[in-house]
Amino acid sequence: MGFNNEKNSYLASIVLGAFFLSHTAWAEVNFKMQQLSNNLHVLYGQGGNIAISTGKDGIYLVDDQFAKLSEEIKKQISTLQQGAPEFVINTHHHGDHTGGNENFAQAGSHVIAHHNVYERLKAKHSEGSKYLPVVSFGKDLVLHFNDEHAHLWHFPHAHTDGDAVVFYKNANVVHMGDIFFNLNSLPFVDVDSGGSLDGVISAVRDTLERIGDDTKVSPGHGSVTDKPSLAQYLVLLQKAKQLMLVAIKEHNNIEAVVNAKPLATLELSYSDWLPQERVTKLFYRSLTEQTVLQGRADCVTGS
């Protein structure tokens, strides 16, 4: 009996352990849905924020987080409306925004993104992969669907070289992807994917000019906010750029600039994957390698 009891409790602990392990793994992803207009919602989970449009024509998404979350994301969508999304728009190529592409494509969705997102996903997943967009565009594209005119606008060399910001005319919402991090932090400028600090600044400035005073602003990461917050973010980016330029003038190499901690006076939050040192290095490279960037970008776009 003692043996059996021990064995049973041992087995029970394995089963419970496995349950808690899987439960904990899922519990880490705390999905939250927020309504932005009659037929537009934002879904917060793990990775980039997802915009969900529902209505008489069907469903479409902007961004789809990670592949392992696709089933849960589909469940979340089904609380709004039944059916597979007709389209999935990618704001850029990063895996926390495109990881679900293959799963959604297999469910019947058509992926839409900028030409450079197509090229970058092709380089990673190879031609014919369902991760790739089936529709790619250059400067802009308008999706006339669900009584809405969603204007996808490409901002060159911002977070990456393939960023699209989605302007929802009727819902009065803009979905910005990672051009905007609303986390009391500076953005990740992916210099190695054709991004630049100047491009992020001009994309934010242009977006502010295009939206109304009461437009809701959905960032790539962090909570949905408003136009004044985006305006503050622009001021922050400009301050950060000035601090960097002063430091670059004072110090003669990247290590000396990083050691001087020019961004410390801004007193912002940093994450483990994007510490202050990495932001400083990326900003340094962005502000000093413009010629290289231009050369590489020309290769990618073919323009």
Nearer to Zn ion, 119 or 178 (CB): 178
Using CA atoms, how far apart are residues 170 and 159, in angstroms rounded to an integer?
26
In this chain, which stretch among 102-110, 175-183, 208-216, 261-269 interacts with Zn ion, using CB under 5 A?
A: 175-183
3-state secondary structure the chain: CHHHHHHHHHHHHHHHHHHHHHHHHHHCCCCEEEEEECCEEEEECCCCCEEEEEECCEEEEECCCCHHHHHHHHHHHHCCCCCCCCEEECCCCCHHHHCCHHHHHHCCCEEEEEHHHHHHHHHHHCCCCCCCCCEEECCEEEEEECCEEEEEEEECCCCCCCEEEEEECCCCEEECHHHCEECCCCCCCCHHHCCCHHHHHHHHHHHHHHCCCCCEEECCEECCEEHHHHHHHHHHHHHHHHHHHHHHHHCCCHHHHHHHCCCHHHCCCCCCCCCHHHHHHHHHHHHHCHHHHHHHHHHHHCC
CB of 222 to Zn ion, least distance (A): 13
Its sign, for the CA torsion 223, 226, 227, 233, is negative
CB of 226 to Zn ion, least distance (A): 22
Using CA atoms, how far apart are residues 250 and 282, in angstroms rounded to an integer?
18
Using CA atoms, how far apart are residues 174 and 207, in angstroms rounded to an integer?
8
For position 93 contacting Zn ion by CB under 5 A, the verdict is: no
Nearer to Zn ion, 94 or 157 (CB): 94
Each residue 9-48 as x (binds Zn ion by CB under 5 A) or -, in order, gives ----------------------------------------
Is the CB of residue 40 less than 8 Å from the CB of residue 52? yes
In this chain, which stretch among 6-14, 26-34, 106-114, 171-179 interacts with Zn ion, using CB under 5 A?
A: 171-179
For position 175 contacting Zn ion by CB under 5 A, the verdict is: no
In this chain, which stretch among 88-96, 147-155, 164-172, 262-270 interacts with Zn ion, using CB under 5 A?
A: 88-96
Nearer to Zn ion, 85 or 220 (CB): 220
For position 114 contacting Zn ion by CB under 5 A, the verdict is: no
In this chain, which stretch among 69-77, 89-97, 167-175, 208-216 interacts with Zn ion, using CB under 5 A?
A: 89-97
Is the CB of residue 222 less than 8 Å from the CB of residue 48? no
For position 94 contacting Zn ion by CB under 5 A, the verdict is: yes
CB of 269 to Zn ion, least distance (A): 17
In this chain, which stretch among 94-102, 131-139, 223-231, 262-270 interacts with Zn ion, using CB under 5 A?
A: 94-102
CB of 93 to Zn ion, least distance (A): 8
Nearer to Zn ion, 172 or 223 (CB): 223
For position 63 contacting Zn ion by CB under 5 A, the verdict is: no
Nearer to Zn ion, 94 or 285 (CB): 94
Count of residues near Zn ion by CB under 5 A = 2
For position 178 contacting Zn ion by CB under 5 A, the verdict is: yes
CB of 107 to Zn ion, least distance (A): 24
Nearer to Zn ion, 148 or 163 (CB): 163
- Which residues sit at the interface with Zn ion, rule CB under 5 A? 94, 178
